[in-house]
Structures are given as C-alpha cells and as structure tokens.
C-alpha cells in the first residue's frame, strides 16, 4: 500500500518551464581600445541588463563591472513593448530608431592579465557576445619626469 502511495505521489509532480530569450550580445565599441590593469574601459553593447547578472571577462579573467547605463532608451523600449518584440529578437519596426537613439554601455575595470591584445567578452541574462580585442598595456611606470638621471638631459 505504501509503495502504491509513493508511486502515485511521484507520478503527480508538476514541472514548470520558464522560457527566456537567449541571443548573441553585440559589442560595437571598446573605449579606450588600450588600457592598463586598474583603468576603466567602456563597452558599447546591447542588449544590456544589470550589474548583478552581467560578467565581463578579459582573457578569461573576470573584470569588476562598475556601471551599466542605458541612455535615451525609453522610446525604443516603448516601441518594443507595443510591438511585442523581445530584447534579443529582430524588431524591424523599432530597429532603426533604437539604433539611432538608445546607447547602452558597460563600464569595467581592466583586470591584471597579460600585456598585449586580449579578448574581451560580455555575458548577461540574455547571452554572450563574441570576443572583441582590447590591447592591455603594461602598468604605467612613467612618472612624467623627463629627467633621465645622472645629470643627463
């Protein structure tokens, strides 16, 4: 009797499935294109979400995200909502105005990684970007002093 009750109970479980949009994020610009460890870098990217569900990696090393901003995106968001467009989906009605007005940026602090060209990738709740290159500079040791020492010019 107990076995039959267990089978009956296990057979009545409900599974809930949540569907989310997954897409390739687009990184269109990295400013500056060259930075040393500890310096701020801004990615112009879309679609963005929040700092809490985003990750930037440089050469596979996690970077500290300091800010995510969306500027002039209200009309784009409203257009997408009215036309039932997903953040990751193609929305012909809104694409032109969104591209012209809405600017989304992710600011991060360059982590300590190898000097030279390194891949940067953005990941968030919507998906991941293709890696884009950024040049990692050696930590500046120049103090701005032009004196070469030893009384030289």
Residues 6 or more apart in contact with residue 146 via CB below 8 angstroms: none
Q: Please give the residue that has the higher pLDDT: either 147 or 81.
A: 81
> Rounded mean pLDDT of 40-68?
96
Q: Please give the residue that has the higher pLDDT: either 4 or 34.
A: 34
Confidence of residue 38 (pLDDT cuts 50, 70, 90): very high
Going through the chain in order, the beta strands assigned E by DSSP cover 23-31, 34-36, 40-46, 55-58, 61-71, 103-109, 116-124, 127-129, 132-137
User: What domains can you pick out in the chain, each with its CATH number?
Assistant: 23-135 (2.60.40.10)
pLDDT at 61 over 50: yes
Q: What average pLDDT does the chain have?
A: 85
pLDDT of residue 96: 85
Give the position of tokens 């400013």. Answer: 31
pLDDT at 25 over 70: yes
pLDDT of residue 108: 98
Tokens found for residue 57: 């990696």
Confidence of residue 46 (pLDDT cuts 50, 70, 90): very high
């Amino acid at each position: 009797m107990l076995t039959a009750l267990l089978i009956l109970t296990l057979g009545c479980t409900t599974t809930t499935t949540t569907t989310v949009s997954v897409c390739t994020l687009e990184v269109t610009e990295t400013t500056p294109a060259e930075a040393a460890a500890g310096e701020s870098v801004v990615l112009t990217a879309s679609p963005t979400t929040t700092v809490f569900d985003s990750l930037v990696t440089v050469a596979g090393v996690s970077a500290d995200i300091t800010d995510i901003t969306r500027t002039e995106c209200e009309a784009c968001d409203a257009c997408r909502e009215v036309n039932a467009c997903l953040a990751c989906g193609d929305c012909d009605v809104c694409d032109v105005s969104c591209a012209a007005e809405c600017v989304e940026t992710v600011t991060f602090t360059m982590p300590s990684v190898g000097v030279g060209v390194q891949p940067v990738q953005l990941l968030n709740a919507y998906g991941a970007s293709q890696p884009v290159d950024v040049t990692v500079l050696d930590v500046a040791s120049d103090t701005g002093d032009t004196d070469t020492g030893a009384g030289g010019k």
